Structure 1
Amino acid sequence: MTSQRHAKRTVIVTGASSGIGRRIARQFGREGANVVCASRSNEPKTGKHHDTDISDPTEQIIREETSGDAVFVSTDVSDPDQVRNLVDETVEEYGGIDVLVNNAGISIVGDSQETSVEDWRTMLGVDLDGTFFCCKFAIPYLKDTSGHIVNISSVNATEGGSGPAYSAAKAGQVNLTQDLAVELGPHNVNVNCISPGYIKTPIQDYQDEDGIRISREQTLLP
């Protein structure tokens, strides 16, 4: 039987429609949480890296297959107004926030010469600005619950190899995490950053295994 250690806790997971965010959201649901699934669309990404339930929205799976509850809130995390709405809707629905998982991210392939100014700004807007916006607007509620922030970065934050914009954004997430940990420690809010290696998700469809510069264990996530 799955532990119910997160029963009735309210968790926001960004980028929850597929990949890492989808699995994180589902696990919180299994452990009894109220999960707010935030993505630009609740339609799971399709591609070669997915499993058989890819057609079902994450919040539907949580409601049908777990003891938790779930709602979807359409959110572009690069837009501060939409992030503020995400937080407001979460608090209206469930009364507060216990955990924020900043997982939403995009990857635009290209080296320094191939990456356009627009692509640079788009990448940092989602991967770094989005993390900051979500933290900024959720922190007042996380202070009330002695909550938790988990930022999903990448080994590329320190190793590079996935293009300058992606690597810079992920390094920024690591440093933002450190700063927030210092700020929020006195308020009993725990802030951590996870930096996974290569994981097979729909966002990685552009990249073949033979093209991975550094050999890492490869895990399949829908």
Structure 2
Amino acid sequence: MRIAVSHPPTFTPGSGWAYSNTNYVLAGMIIERATGRALAEEITERICRPLGLTGTYLPHGSDPTIHGPHSRHYTKLFRTDPGAPVHDATELDSSMFWAAGGMISTAGDLNRFFGALLGGRILPPDQQHDMFTTVPTRDWISNAAYGLGVSSVRLPCGETVWGMGGALFGSWSYSYGAHGGEQMVTANVNGDWGGGGWDDPIGVFTDLLQAKFCGRSGT
């Protein structure tokens, strides 16, 4: 946080939009200050156990391992040249990302969590309304809007899906579905590059969402 606030604001409040990991770090700090407990414990007690998310946890300390069955994760460290070396990033100390992206989960758990979140089974109505109040994004996912921790994406066929995506070295995950959480699609790609740049997996996920919510023809 000290590093973040040492820089001038990118824009005045309410006049723009930019994705910021710092906001999630601040949220984690607030949770720990308000509860007097570690963020990992609060996530387990308030979210994972009630929803039966047995494969989801925030690692303690600098544990670099992934508990349970998992794929290998490969990264080119965001280099776009075809000859860039591929690194195995399966064992990774994610503590530096903490509340902004250090969690470990499974596709099944993500499906269940977002289904419950979008379906109103986690937050009270007023907070649910605030979460779905969005602003247009820029230089991010195409045709997206962003709320409080969730985003909406308008697919090429005109359907709008809700959820969130995230990436860490060697791993891309996407979980989006209908506004009420009745139908969800969650997928993970265990590499962070493609022919057109480091964000190529987004195109893969968009195709999956279109196949699910727009039908075979994409219309």
TM-score for the superposition, normalised by structure 1: 0.26
When Rg is computed on C-alpha atoms for both structures, the one with the higher figure is: 2
Structure with greater contact order relative to length (CA < 8 Å, sep ≥ 6): 1
